[in-house]
A and B are shown apart, each in its own frame.
Chain A
Amino acid sequence: MEDFMNETIDTTQLPKFEDVVFSILHPNYWKVTLISLAVFFLVLAIGVGLVFYFNEDLYPFIYQLSIVFAVLLLLVFYFSWISFKKKGFAFRTHDVLFRHGIIATNTLVIPYNRVQHVALHEGFVSRFFGLAKIQIFTAGGNSSDIEIPGIAKEEAENIKQLLMGKIQKQL
């Protein structure tokens, strides 16, 4: 137990992951999200519209359904906005942090010496805004991988180089 008392003193002096200042995503990423959502809801609306067009029995329900549709649309946009606002990332000397979540605040920390590989992904819409997504994989399965979207392309390249350098150094 004496050993343990030592450790508790140490822990208070350790760098605190909870005090890290997170960088937020590029503002353009919100536009990307908006466009993807708009496309999704457009396709959905067209689908529902077609069902109505060929099914005359459903005409009386058109009013209720449009309300449901509008509420759903607003909710999804609202939650996407919160999710966008919440997302943040930070690179420390020895690890990478990613914060995300809507009602919960999740903070995922991966030390560089546990990173398996790093990938850069450019979505179709993101490319128009010059944004890219960084994917960081570990051996801990899907739940412990980090995907940081909405980073400017050059910055993402730099981050990838930085991470690769860190991983190489570990090996």
Chain B
Amino acid sequence: MGSDFNQPQRQSIVGILVMFVYSLQGYAKALWPILVIWIFKFDQINKFYLLIGIIVVFTIVGIVSYLRYLNFTFYIDHKNGEFIITEGIFNKTKTTIQLYKIQQVNINQSLIQRLVGVYELAVDTAGSNKKEGDIRAISHELALDLKVRLLENENKKNVNNDDSISTSDEISIEKTIDSEAPFIKISFLSLLKIGITSNYVKSFFVLLAFFITLFDHIKQITGRDILHDENIEDYVDKSQIATTFLMLFVIFFLAVIIINLVKTIFTYFDYKIARQKGSLLLSYGLLNAKSTIIKPEKVQITSITQNYFQKKMNVLHLKIKQATGGEKEDHKLAIEIPGCDKLEKDSILKLLFQKIPEKGVMLKPNFRKLGFSVFLTIGLPLLGFYFVRDLIIEELPTIDYFVLLFVLFIGIIQFFAFKNTRLYINDDFLILQSGAWDVTNKIILPSKIQAITTSQLFWHKNINIGSLTLHTAGGNISFQLGNFTAIKQYVNLWLYEMETSDSNWM
């Protein structure tokens, strides 16, 4: 096994094929309008020229891929602690990544890569929002080996000076990878449970949009409006309308559940979590196998989400945010662990934090918070409705009932959201609880805070309430309209803690 990364080395030889397909994809994406026109005019095009054209394009792309393969090398510079990738045919690019800055090393496999049996290795750092190092074709053993090397290097600087010890160390690491049994396996049953109990709202709206466009198309094609067709009322008499609607609703709901279920199972099939030198090694996926490493010290925000059904079934959803460049894409870097039970959650949290976070002193938001969200989500829409009511009421006489339903529904949601919004503070942990149906607990360590914003509207000065935003490298956490004296006191405490200790926030 060529596990010596000291010398510049190329990717797997089949990498040419992967690069070829990727380049072809790239060109196809860039030129698709022309391609579409060609397909429609297929009969009019001289077949001979087309064939020659295709051959020429394929040869050029092939040569380019081969040259790219030749010019793509990577190695680890142990002396300076750097991972170096050089690439490019005419414009040479040399990417140097400091090993200690590496956040994550992901090993993924797309369909093409799966066909030729290679993997993609992507290196992520905190510095920027895009992947810095990307090796498109590498064998699995080599990828795992490189990953270990990239992530463990900082801890073994001294060992690396001595070659013999270093190699023996490498072997032992390899063995540990192979022998390390995953300590958590998300069972198929848990995935089923999570699949049928989460993301209702999101899938509901996706499906709603889908049906509306579908009806729209049918209307355009047949010239008949299914929703307002009087014929339907002829077929079914009044008593049956209610049952029909109920049936439709149930079918709709089932569709939402099934879509969720399939999506969850495809993404997270065979979810395994293994421990590796204090880090968490995750691997999952049915078609696109993915694997990720989480280093506990780089974790910024840990969210635990659970709704009523999930509580009854003892499953929950974990989301871990690591340090990012603060760009908009940070949600992509969130690592999700669906369907663990309480014990598994506790053992993961123990690995991340060394102990299970406990909820400390509770801060509640002022009732004005409820008033304000009700104003935003019910008051303003009602005001808008007041102006357009006369226009709609002719088309849809039952609109008032719908509005009443809307107000009730949103009202209940806002009430529970208000009831669940809590900030728990103790010496080691800050836990923000929020959400109406899906109750989320976001856990952060006070030492991970980067900056603190306090905010107060001038008419809230007398009643002494205000808001707090904690900025971390993995996103912000906000708590609105709490007791301002308490908030200020805690801010002073956190500032004191941050400024007196030189804690490692990433």
Q: Which A residues lie within 8 Å of B237 (CB)?
A: none
In contact, B475 and A104 (Cβ under 8 angstroms):
no
Q: Is A106 close to B, CB under 8 A?
A: yes
User: In the complex, A139→B103 CA distance in Å?
Assistant: 14
Instruction: Check if B458 sits within 8 Å of A144, measured CB to CB.
Output: no
Q: A101-B455, A103-B457 are in contact. Are A143 and B427 (CB under 8 A)?
A: no
Which A residues, 122 to 171, have Cβ-Cβ distances below 8 Å to chain B? 138-144, 170
The reply on B75 being an interface residue by CB < 8 A is no
Mostly, the B contact residues are mixed
B114 at interface by CB-CB < 8 Å: no
* Beta-carbon contact of B472 and A140 below 8 Å: yes
Size class of the contact patch on chain A = 20 to 34
CB-defined interface of A92-119 with B at 8 Å, one 1/0 digit per residue? 0011000001011111111111100000
The verdict on A138 contacting B451 (CB below 8 Å), with A4-B360, A111-B498, A113-B498 known, is yes
Q: Is the CB of B453 within 8 A of A108?
A: yes
Chain B nearest CB: distance from A106 CB in Å? Answer: 4
Interface residue from B426, B476, B489, B493 paired with A140 (Cβ < 8 Å)? B476
A144 to B474, CA, bound (A): 12
The answer to whether the Cβ of A10 comes within 8 Å of any Cβ in the partner chain is: yes
In the complex, the answer to whether A113 meets B491 with C-beta atoms within 8 Å is no
**Is the CB of A12 closer than 8 A to any CB of chain B?**
yes
CA gap between A107 and B495 in the complex, in Å: 13
Contact, CB under 8 Å: A114 / B490: no
Interface of A is mostly: mixed
A64 contacts B by Cβ under 8 Å: no
Contact with A along B479-506 (1 / 0, CB 8 A): 0000000001111110110110010011
Q: Say whether A140 contacts B451, CB under 8 Å.
A: yes
CA distance A106 to B453 in the complex (A): 7
B residues within 8 A CB of A110?
450-451
Contacts of B488 in A (CB 8 A): 16-18
B326 within 8 A of A: yes
In the bound complex, what is the Cα–Cα distance between A141 and B496 (angstroms)?
A: 22
With contacts A4-B426, A170-B502 taken as known, whether A141 is within 8 angstroms of B326 at the C-beta atoms is yes
Interface membership of A60, Cβ < 8 A? no
- List of B residues within 8 angstroms of A55 by Cβ: none
Q: Which partner residue on chain A sits nearest B467 by CB separation?
A: A104
Q: Choose among A12, A103, A104, A114 the residue that contacts B498 (Cβ–Cβ < 8 A).
A: A114
B126 beta carbon closer than 8 Å to chain A? yes
Residues from 1 to 24 in A contacting B, C-beta threshold 8 Å? 3-4, 7, 10-12, 14-18
**How far is it, in angstroms, between the C-alpha of A10 and the C-alpha of B497 when the chains are bound?**
12
Q: Which of B458, B489, B490 contacts A104 (CB 8 A)?
A: B458
Q: Which B residues fall within an 8 A CB radius of A?
A: 126, 323-324, 326-327, 330, 360-361, 426-427, 449-458, 469, 471-473, 475-476, 488-493, 495-496, 498-499, 502, 505-506
**Top 7 A-B pairs, shortest CB-CB distance:** A141-B326, A140-B471, A144-B471, A140-B450, A94-B499, A144-B451, A139-B473
